[in-house]
């Protein structure tokens, strides 16, 4: 039985623009029908050719109807039709709906039409902006709003003989977010909010939700962050599931699945949805690669500890294959035990590296990545306590400017970028330090994408003088060339804030990929207003942090914490007494108080009584001490 654009207006269920109370509204109808919502970007809208489809998928499926809008041929949009192979972005193309509908129908008892699909998808779109759910704050995405409107319109147009029950939602999206560091890092939160908001919209608090994981591909550099977010959501949010697509064939464009690949995507959506509905879904492995590390060393190769972890629910076959790999890096990475999440890695030369930890349970390959930056000199930008700016585009990443990664060119966004589109004129970025530093040189690598963001016409460096910002003196350089670092030297001064101002050239906006600051950090800076600080001493020898307290302070409760440069606690040592007021804590795995932290730069914060003292330490030497 087919449907050829049959429409019947049924607005009785519309309440405040939502689709609420459908069961009561449709109590008079006769035939129950299961409704699934399909949404996402191009691999959901359908860019796989129908040529080569199996024979059982080339015909209309009499038991499945579909209402589609968004990126679809106009002749098939906004009407209920029998499902066939041409519901992709145009005639001759298809998406997951074909085999998903077939498998769900085959698994549903009854005769006649049993499954209804409501599909809204657009290619090349991100969750961060276009699909942004209300709970993420800011402006709700236009595609999220359109999806809701499409569902309402579809249910209003459903022929009167059907009693619809929304049973689940499937989601194929994430590639576009994976092109940007900031959007990738927000993906787990945004996907969690999307699920919650969709469930609230249909008044089903545990609506089953299944996401297809994106592939790791050069086109979306941060795919590992997206995949980690997708597996985390599946593990944390009830009645959700994910499946892997890494093994499926895709086309020469590098973006879209081939016919056989898309047929399998549809099948995996259906199988995973059935598992979620039956509470038998395989939860993906949980993977944590560890915290970012930064090290200053002149000895290569340099070895670091990796403290990853991987756990699984034992499904589907009680196996978990673990492996490390180098995703990005200028040199070679040699792992002590490539199959152990806790191991070592030896890096052959300076630079920024992304190391990926994979855990495969036989159905899903979950992953996470850790960044290690190795340099030969101390870059004061790395230890800035915060970054601020006049404006940053929502999809860009301010803290990319001091991640330590050297760009290959001015459009290299592999480690993120700061940009201020659509702003023009004079903009600025600023580093703030918790204690004074003494800079005398900077390197700036400008962001230029050849379009809306170009190198600036000019720039100037200003420092905080205690009451306001003044231009540095003796400046030489101020280059604005693309595809290289622009060095500026100046007279050394003491400050806690450094601001880089730049003025656009006409209508394009401006941006920065990396801004390094060189100079000397003070060997000792203390607040003279705290008399109790006078008797403290802290030093680093080998991998040991040693400190002593004056007699008047030895009875105070004591805590020593190590923070990484992202502000996260690496370890905590609690103690209340020690011989002669002398204490020792170890960084790299020796001694009684073993923190097992990888060698690198850390903030060691000592809290005793109501006083605090902290030191920036670098494993084998004291870089600076500050209060």
Confirm whether 78 is domain-assigned: yes
- pLDDT of res. 524: 33
- In whole angstroms, give the CA distance from residue 497 to residue 508: 27
Chain segment 419-466, per-residue pLDDT in tens: 999 999 999 999 988 778 889 999 999 999 999 999 999 999 999 988
Q: Which residue has the higher pLDDT, 151 or 538?
A: 151
Task: Find the mean pLDDT for residues 603-627.
Answer: 44
Q: Which residue has the higher pLDDT, 562 or 621?
A: 562
HEC string of 206-254 equals CCCEEEECCCCECCECCHHHHHHHHHHHHHHCCCEEEECCCCCCECCCC
Whether 459 and 435 share a structural domain:
yes
Task: Find the mean pLDDT for residues 525-541.
Answer: 35
- Asked whether residue 26 carries a pLDDT value surpassing 60, the answer given is no
**In CATH, what number is assigned to the domain containing residue 114?**
3.40.50.1110
Whether 272 and 315 share a structural domain:
no
Whether 548 and 508 share a structural domain:
no
Backbone angles phi, psi at 250, to 5 degrees: -130, 165
How many CB atoms neighbour CB 153 within 10 A?
16
- CA-CA distances (angstroms) from residue 88 to 82, 113, 177, 361? 14, 21, 22, 32
Q: For residue 290, what is the DSSP state?
A: -
Task: Find the mean pLDDT for residues 619-627.
Answer: 30
Task: Name the token pair of 241.
Answer: 């599931």
Question: Prior bond to 316 cis, omega within 30?
Answer: yes
Task: Name the token pair of 402.
Answer: 């001091």
Query: Pick from 349, 375, 401: which residue ends a domain?
Result: 375
Q: Which residue has the higher pLDDT, 554 or 330?
A: 330
- pLDDT of res. 69: 97
SS3 of residue 184 by DSSP = helix
Beta partners for residue 93, in sequence order: 49
- CA-CA distances (angstroms) from residue 46 to 38, 94, 442? 11, 5, 49
- pLDDT of res. 559: 60
Confirm whether 24 is domain-assigned: no
- pLDDT of res. 595: 34
**pLDDT confidence band for 549 (50 / 70 / 90):** low
- pLDDT of res. 576: 38
Whether 226 and 259 share a structural domain:
yes
**In CATH, what number is assigned to the domain containing residue 592?**
2.60.40.10
- pLDDT of res. 480: 97
**pLDDT confidence band for 592 (50 / 70 / 90):** very low
- In whole angstroms, give the CA distance from residue 578 to residue 375: 37
- pLDDT of res. 350: 85
CB 300 within 8 A of CB 317: no
Whether 230 and 302 share a structural domain:
no
Whether 418 and 477 share a structural domain:
yes
- In whole angstroms, give the CA distance from residue 382 to residue 166: 50
- pLDDT of res. 416: 82
Whether 548 and 506 share a structural domain:
no
Question: Residue 462: which domain range?
Answer: 380-520
CB 365 within 8 A of CB 247: no
Chain segment 350-387, per-residue pLDDT in tens: 888 889 999 999 989 999 988 888 887 778 888 787 78
Mean pLDDT is lowest, of 28-32, 146-150, 475-479, for 28-32
- In whole angstroms, give the CA distance from residue 486 to residue 593: 45
- pLDDT of res. 607: 56
Whether 398 and 490 share a structural domain:
yes
Confirm whether 4 is domain-assigned: no
Query: Number of C-alpha atoms within 13 angstroms, CB side, residue 4?
Result: 1
- Asked whether residue 71 carries a pLDDT value surpassing 60, the answer given is yes
- Asked whether residue 8 carries a pLDDT value surpassing 70, the answer given is no
SS3 of residue 581 by DSSP = helix
Confirm whether 5 is domain-assigned: no
- Asked whether residue 579 carries a pLDDT value surpassing 80, the answer given is no
Q: Which residue has the higher pLDDT, 478 or 585?
A: 478
Q: Name the pairing type of β-strands 31-40 and 162-172.
A: parallel
CB 41 within 8 A of CB 183: no
- pLDDT of res. 25: 38
Query: Pick from 226, 247, 277: which residue ends a domain?
Result: 277
**pLDDT confidence band for 150 (50 / 70 / 90):** very high
List the beta strands (DSSP E) in 96-159.
Answer: 115-121
**In CATH, what number is assigned to the domain containing residue 455?**
2.60.120.260
Q: For residue 160, what is the DSSP state?
A: T
Using CB atoms within 10 A of its CB, is residue 416 exposed (0-12), middle (13-18) or buried (19+)? buried
Mean pLDDT is lowest, of 4-18, 138-152, 478-492, 603-617, for 4-18
- pLDDT of res. 602: 52
Confirm whether 419 is domain-assigned: yes
Confirm whether 23 is domain-assigned: no
Whether 92 and 38 share a structural domain:
yes
- In whole angstroms, give the CA distance from residue 257 to residue 93: 11
Whether 434 and 420 share a structural domain:
yes
The mean predicted confidence, pLDDT, of the chain is 81
DSSP 436-481: EEEEEEEEEEE---SSSB---SEEEEEEE-SSSEEEPSS-B-----
Query: Pick from 520, 549, 580: which residue ends a domain?
Result: 520
Confirm whether 1 is domain-assigned: no
Confirm whether 228 is domain-assigned: yes
Residue with tokens 């960084």: 587
Whether 345 and 329 share a structural domain:
yes
Domain count, the chain: 4
**Sign of the Cα pseudo-torsion (231, 237, 243, 245, in order):** negative
- Asked whether residue 151 carries a pLDDT value surpassing 90, the answer given is yes
Chain segment 303-331, per-residue pLDDT in tens: 888 989 999 988 888 899 999 999 888 89
- In whole angstroms, give the CA distance from residue 390 to residue 419: 11
Task: Find the mean pLDDT for residues 61-80.
Answer: 95
Whether 69 and 210 share a structural domain:
yes
**Sign of the Cα pseudo-torsion (296, 299, 300, 306, in order):** negative
- pLDDT of res. 552: 56
- Asked whether residue 528 carries a pLDDT value surpassing 50, the answer given is no
Query: 97-106 and 259-277 are packed helices; what angle lies between their axes, rounded to 10 degrees?
Result: 40
Task: Find the mean pLDDT for residues 148-164.
Answer: 93
Q: Which residue has the higher pLDDT, 414 or 54?
A: 54
Q: Which residue has the higher pLDDT, 399 or 314?
A: 314
Q: Give the length of the chain.
A: 627
């Amino acid at each position: 039985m087919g449907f050829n654009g049959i429409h019947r207006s049924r607005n009785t269920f519309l309440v405040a623009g939502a689709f609420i109370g459908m069961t009561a509204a449709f109590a008079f109808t006769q035939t129950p029908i299961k409704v699934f919502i399909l949404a996402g970007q191009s691999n959901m809208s359908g860019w796989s050719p129908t040529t080569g489809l199996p024979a059982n998928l080339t015909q209309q499926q009499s038991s499945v109807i579909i209402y589609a809008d968004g990126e679809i041929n106009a002749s098939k949009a906004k009407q209920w039709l029998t499902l066939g192979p041409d519901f992709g972005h145009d005639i001759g193309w298809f998406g997951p709906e074909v085999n998903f509908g077939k498998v769900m129908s085959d698994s549903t008892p009854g005769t006649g039409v049993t499954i209804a699909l409501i599909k809204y998808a657009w290619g090349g779109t991100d969750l961060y902006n276009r699909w942004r759910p209300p709970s993420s704050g800011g402006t709700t995405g236009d595609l999220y709003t359109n999806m809701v409107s499409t569902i309402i319109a579809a249910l209003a147009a459903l022929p009167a003989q059907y009693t619809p029950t929304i049973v689940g939602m499937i989601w194929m999206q994430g590639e576009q977010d994976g092109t940007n560091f900031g959007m990738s890092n927000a993906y787990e939160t945004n996907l969690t909010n999307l699920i919650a908001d969709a469930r609230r919209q249909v008044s089903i608090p545990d609506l089953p939700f299944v996401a297809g994981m994106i592939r790791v591909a050069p086109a979306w550099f941060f795919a590992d962050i997206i995949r980690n977010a997708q597996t985390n959501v599946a593990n944390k949010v009830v009645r959700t599931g994910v499946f892997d697509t890494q093994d499926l064939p895709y086309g020469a464009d590098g973006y879209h699945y081939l016919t056989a690949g898309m047929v399998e995507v549809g099948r995996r959506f259906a199988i995973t949805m059935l598992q979620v509905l039956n509470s038998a879904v395989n939860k993906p492995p949980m993977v944590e690669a560890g915290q970012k590390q930064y090290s200053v060393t002149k000895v290569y190769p340099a070895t670091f500890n990796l403290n990853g972890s991987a756990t699984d629910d034992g499904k589907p076959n009680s196996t978990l294959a673990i492996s490390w790999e180098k995703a990005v890096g200028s040199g070679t990475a040699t792992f002590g035990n490539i199959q152990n999440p806790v191991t070592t890695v030896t890096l052959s030369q300076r630079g920024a590296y992304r190391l990926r930890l994979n855990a495969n349970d036989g159905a899903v390959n979950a992953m996470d990545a850790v960044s290690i930056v190795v340099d030969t000199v101390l870059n004061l930008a790395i230890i800035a306590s915060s970054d601020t700016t006049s404006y940053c585009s929502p999809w860009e990443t301010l803290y990319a400017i001091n991640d330590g990664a050297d760009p290959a060119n001015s459009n290299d966004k592999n480690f993120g970028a700061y940009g201020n589109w659509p702003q023009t004129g004079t903009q600025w970025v600023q580093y703030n330090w918790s204690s004074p530093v003494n800079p005398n040189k900077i390197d700036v690598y400008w962001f230029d994408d050849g379009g809306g963001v170009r190198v600036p016409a000019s720039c100037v460096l200003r420092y905080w003088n205690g009451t306001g910002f003044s231009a540095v003196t003796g400046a030489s350089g101020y280059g604005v060339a693309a595809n290289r670092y622009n060095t500026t030297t100046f007279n050394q001064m003491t400050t806690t804030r450094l601001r880089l101002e730049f003025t656009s050239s006409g209508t394009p906006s401006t941006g920065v990929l990396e801004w390094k600051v060189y100079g000397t950090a003070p060997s000792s800076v203390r607040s003279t207003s705290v008399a109790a600080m006078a008797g403290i001493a802290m030093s680093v020898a080998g991998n040991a942090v040693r400190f002593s307290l004056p007699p008047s302070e030895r009875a105070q409760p004591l805590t020593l914490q190590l923070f990484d440069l992202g502000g996260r606690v690496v370890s905590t040592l609690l103690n209340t007494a020690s011989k002669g007021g002398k204490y020792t804590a170890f960084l790299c795995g020796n001694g009684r108080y073993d923190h097992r932290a990888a060698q690198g730069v850390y903030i060691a914060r000592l809290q005793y009584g109501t006083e605090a003292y902290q030191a920036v330490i670098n494993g084998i030497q004291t870089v600076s001490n500050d209060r």
